[in-house]
Structure 1
Amino acid sequence: MLNLLRSIPLLGVVPLFASAVLGDTCSEVSLNTDIEVTSPLDVSYLNEQKDYWSASCSALKPSCIIFPRSAAEVSAVIKILNTNNEKFAIKSGGHSPNNYFSSVDGGPLISTQRLDHLNLDPTTGVADLGPGNRLDEIGAKLQGTGWTFVGGRIGNTGSGGLMLGGGLSYMSAQYGWSASSVIEYELVLPNGTVVYPSSTAHPSLWRALKGGGNNFGVVTNYKLQTYRQGLVYGGNLVYLRTPETDRKILRAVRDFTEFNTDDRAAVIVTAERAQVNLVDTWILFLFYDGPTPPADTFKNFTSNGIPGLITNTARTRTYADLMALSNWVVLRGFQVMIATETVPIPSSSSSSSSSALSDEILWQGIHSHWRNISTTTLAVPGIVASIAYQPFPRRIAAAARAKSPDLIDADPDADKLIIELNYAFLNPGDYAAMDGKMQATYGGIRERVLAWQAEGKLPGDVYLPVFMNYGYFRQDYFGRLKSGSRRLAREVAEAVDPLGVFRGRTGGWKP
């Protein structure tokens, strides 16, 4: 399986720098290269360090921040890191709120911010994309070209981490994961060698990069396929929460997941609560890949008598406008925690009533559990608690498989919901207590799903991985993958990183 990996040059070879075993990366890069290195007093350092989704990551202080502009410069930095044992991190957009995943305390941080190129072939739609781009920047750069990138849903998200985790998109039912469209990577391996994994060159590494996280080196370019797109339809519906609203919206998202047949349509259904119930709402994200959705596309959310609609911003707009509009969800200065679970939906072909099962599982089960736990957090200063139900119809898994193999290897055997759980709060001193609340929240959902499967209320043989882009650091990402994917990730990591430079000195899940 790894024959092509073994052809990568210099694997396992200790670099010539190895005499400086206790070297300081920041000083070595500054003294011996022309690469931009910033210190804690520099404006560039301060701006980059505060630009995380979670203030807990910003509170970690790297010894310096390095801003390479090419694969060659990244390679030079990685070779210097091979001469010492410093902890380090690589940052694209800083979307993951997990401490140490793209942040570091006391070691160097490699920022990909200067790797912000986007070069599009206007005839084929093939683009070279740097990991320093955020999704709203990509939307703006592609504006007017007639092509679009299969990216995430929040404009501020960095493209690098998104695609290394897979990347769930409004367009996933058409094109699979964001990573599914990557044709070739430019990758700096843990020893500093630059390689170009594709379906024909190092194919095991190519697959492992699609859902394998930061374990295999630093991606400095994504060569990917973009797709034709004109105006889109999108925006938010906001409802004041009532028990009836809960029931009707949850049933609507269940039905949309199973019965929607238009791959151009997508929804995210989010419930949000703020301190002392000052906010208790549903916020729905609607998307259609075209200027006007067919009349019945979103009817379950707009015309089935759901009470309490107070805002509707959905309209025809550019994709770039939609990406920019989404950035209201980023809460600057807050400590943020994100976790996830994957839930199979009760099928309409179930021997029991689908509506009754939907109410029992989604409304009385999962959603009531979330409300019960989140209620206990409402006195925490600045608290914002949310749960998002994101349809993962079997069509997404089929589309991903049709494009390319990936480490997630989702099965098109059942319709599912990917649930995203968020807690945001102001006081760093509340982190330990909120960690317990988060574990109780996602752990309770997992326990309920397993119990329903044992009772036959949900199919028991459905593969339910943890979605990396929303995973909490305590969740077992690699342990929830299929055994073949786990084995592939471990073998590839050992092959490209025999000295453990990335496996032992960066954060994140390790195979």
Structure 2
Amino acid sequence: MFLAPLVAAAFLLLHSYVAAADVVTPAYKAATGFPPCDALIRAGLGNRLLLATDTGYEPRIASWWSLNTRHRPWCLVKPHNAAEVSTAMTALLGAGAGNGAGDWHVAVRAGGHGPRLSNNIDNGVTIDLGMLNQATYNKRTNLASIGPGGRWKDVLAKLLKYGVIVPSGRDGDVGVGGFLLGGGSSYYMGREAFACDSVRNFEVVLTNGTIVNANKRENADLWRALKGGGSNFGIVTRFDMDALPAKDIAYGTRFMSAEYSSELVDAIAHFTDHYQEFDTDALVAFLMHNTSAFPVDVVTAAIHVNTEGIHNSTGFKKLNRIPSLIPDETRSLSLADAAEDSQLPSGTWNFGATITFKNDKRILAHAVKLHEKYVKDLNHDIGPENFVSLVLFQPEPSFLGDISKRRGGNMLGVDAQEHNAILWTGGVAVKSDERALAIARTRMSAMVAELKEFSISLCGESRLIYMNYADPSQDPLGSYGQENVDHIRRVAAKYDPLGVFQRRFPGGFKISRVGL
């Protein structure tokens, strides 16, 4: 039994993914009237543009996962390689694009899965990296070379043909680029830490059009900054990652009654404190409101995985003692198949936020109560059938920082974390409209604030705000610690001296805003 089909039932929507390769792009030669789009035509990219008058435009817009991000740019430019990304960059930032005249900006889309205002734009141009979706393997170097525009279900299927995998997104519809630049939480964290720690080399297009590599020996400061530093330096056009042998994983989902929430809290806390003993296991516990799947307000659940394919791992002993609402069918399957089966449906209004706190049963129990209140309030405000809510608990033990440090370090700052922590994430999907989303967002923001205050009262606050789950009102970069903030600032100033990614690429979290 998998989470995605049950969540999908709550929406009663078809998944609307449209592959980049399916969109036919006309060859533009005449002026469009939009200065940046015309600059792209003059640069020779007329056959890479999509405008609103093209038949492929609306299907491509519909491929953004969340309704929040289905903006309509003046044009989409779809480069096929790093050289074309370079051409697009120099054309859009050149004098001929009308820079300084009017209020327009540039967005960059990798997979288009994020619900935040980070990967699309209305007034301006979106650079759509969907055609940079390659996934190849070099046996001599043991490196998998992956394009930013691929989605993990497709990337893993391609790599499986070589007999390898890489630490990846668990939802198969998540894109490569944003996932890796924000850190990357995977089933392999117990041994590999964050997915970004497996990146041996980044190929990057800088704002002046230069294509550089960033690795341990070449542009090493940029290499480290890109591991969690987000969209502050350039456009990554290839990730070279350390590959792992492809083995079937043991994958299961356990659904339990909310009356056993205290037992689930005990299982989460125990697993987190003993994670290093069970480093081939992965546990993601969650609370869910989904009336189409379960005729109750809240159920508790957990996804449990063993990456060596071992069924009934002792790491899940406490979890397996909790009665299951439906049979917990642990299956052996490839990581590619797990990603294919684990996709949240698109086409809803979405909001999410995150914090971390010390692995403390009292805080975990309070988080359960806060979600129960959240569901009760939204039932009254917008109706129980109009939303699905998820609250996730993911282990974040301190030893992850040690692994990251041995592999060259990243920006997230977990190496300075002295205690085992829990990465808490709240998410809500609303079916009806933006008014209902605003209510759901307001109540969730209040829930986050109350949970943070409670953790502080028990001296249980933890610093990290994980970028990939953060709301735009949060400050993930600032949570990395002053040393890492200073490093990101230095690297951004060095590789983007004019601050183009701070001013003209508004999507994502910007280092220039930290501390303001």
Scaled to the shorter chain, the TM-score interval is 0.7 to 0.9
Match of 2:105 among 63, 74, 87: 87
Match of 1:40 among 20, 44, 52: 52
Answer whether contact 2:134 2:155 (CA < 8 A) is retained.
Answer: no
Match of 1:50 among 53, 59, 62: 62
Match of 2:449 among 443, 460, 468: 443
RMSD: 1.9
> In the alignment, what sits opposite 1:488?
487
SS for the counterpart of 2:357 is strand
Unpaired segments of 5 or more residues in structure 2?
1-32, 512-516
SS for the counterpart of 1:47 is helix
> In the alignment, what sits opposite 1:6?
none
> In the alignment, what sits opposite 2:216?
199
- 2-structure distance, mates of 1:289, 1:44: 40
> In the alignment, what sits opposite 1:7?
none
SS for the counterpart of 1:257 is helix
SS for the counterpart of 1:196 is strand
Answer whether contact 2:200 2:241 (CA < 8 A) is retained.
Answer: yes
SS for the counterpart of 2:314 is coil
Confirm whether residue 507 of structure 1 aligns to residue 507 of structure 2: yes
For residues 405-435 of structure 1, what are the alpha-carbon distances to aligned partners after superposition, in whole Å with 9 as ceiling and x for unaligned? 1111213532111011101102122233233
Distance 1:168 1:430, change over 3 A: same
> In the alignment, what sits opposite 1:65?
76
Distance 1:429 1:361, change over 3 A: closer
Offset at residue 482 of structure 1 (A) = 0.5
- 2-structure distance, mates of 1:449, 1:478: 21
Answer whether contact 1:234 1:314 (CA < 8 A) is retained.
Answer: yes
Answer whether contact 1:56 1:97 (CA < 8 A) is retained.
Answer: yes
> In the alignment, what sits opposite 2:466?
467
> In the alignment, what sits opposite 1:265?
281
Confirm whether residue 432 of structure 1 aligns to residue 438 of structure 2: yes
Offset at residue 279 of structure 1 (A) = 5.0
Letter in 2 for 1:378: N
After TM superposition, the structure 1 = structure 2 runs for residues 296-335 of structure 1, keeping only pairs within 5 Å, are 296-302=314-320, 304=321, 306-327=322-343, 330-335=344-349
Unpaired segments of 5 or more residues in structure 1?
1-21, 347-357
Offset at residue 404 of structure 1 (A) = 1.8
- 1-structure distance, mates of 2:131, 2:208: 22
- 1-structure distance, mates of 2:425, 2:55: 34
Match of 2:350 among 306, 321, 336: 336
> In the alignment, what sits opposite 2:397?
393
SS for the counterpart of 1:475 is coil
> In the alignment, what sits opposite 1:17?
none
Offset at residue 294 of structure 1 (A) = 5.4
Offset at residue 367 of structure 1 (A) = 1.4
Answer whether contact 1:391 1:416 (CA < 8 A) is retained.
Answer: yes
Letter in 2 for 1:178: A
Answer whether contact 1:175 1:403 (CA < 8 A) is retained.
Answer: no
Confirm whether residue 118 of structure 1 aligns to residue 135 of structure 2: yes
Answer whether contact 2:250 2:308 (CA < 8 A) is retained.
Answer: yes
Offset at residue 242 of structure 1 (A) = 2.8
Letter in 2 for 1:362: L
> In the alignment, what sits opposite 2:4?
none
Bigger drift between 388-397 and 129-138 goes to 388-397
SS for the counterpart of 1:377 is helix
- 2-structure distance, mates of 1:375, 1:404: 46
Structure 2 length as normaliser, TM-score?
A: 0.86
Distance 1:250 1:186, change over 3 A: same
- 2-structure distance, mates of 1:404, 1:43: 46
For residues 21-72 of structure 1, what are the alpha-carbon distances to aligned partners after superposition, in whole Å with 9 as ceiling and x for unaligned? x9722122124314510112334322221122310111x2111111101111
SS for the counterpart of 1:80 is helix
Structure 1 length as normaliser, TM-score?
A: 0.86
- 2-structure distance, mates of 1:104, 1:139: 29
For residues 416-474 of structure 1, what are the alpha-carbon distances to aligned partners after superposition, in whole Å with 9 as ceiling and x for unaligned? 11011101102122233233112102111111111110xxxx4x7xx521011101110
> In the alignment, what sits opposite 1:4?
none
After TM superposition, the structure 1 = structure 2 runs for residues 1-40 of structure 1, keeping only pairs within 5 Å, are 24-34=35-45, 35-40=47-52
Confirm whether residue 229 of structure 1 aligns to residue 241 of structure 2: no
Q: Percent identity?
A: 26
Answer whether contact 2:167 2:195 (CA < 8 A) is retained.
Answer: yes
Confirm whether residue 138 of structure 1 aligns to residue 147 of structure 2: no
SS for the counterpart of 2:261 is helix
After TM superposition, the structure 1 = structure 2 runs for residues 247-266 of structure 1, keeping only pairs within 5 Å, are 247-260=262-275, 261-266=277-282
Offset at residue 206 of structure 1 (A) = 1.1
SS for the counterpart of 1:161 is helix
> In the alignment, what sits opposite 1:378?
379
Letter in 1 for 2:376: T
Would you say how many aligned residue pairs link Structure 1 and Structure 2?
462
> In the alignment, what sits opposite 1:11?
none
- 2-structure distance, mates of 1:492, 1:30: 32
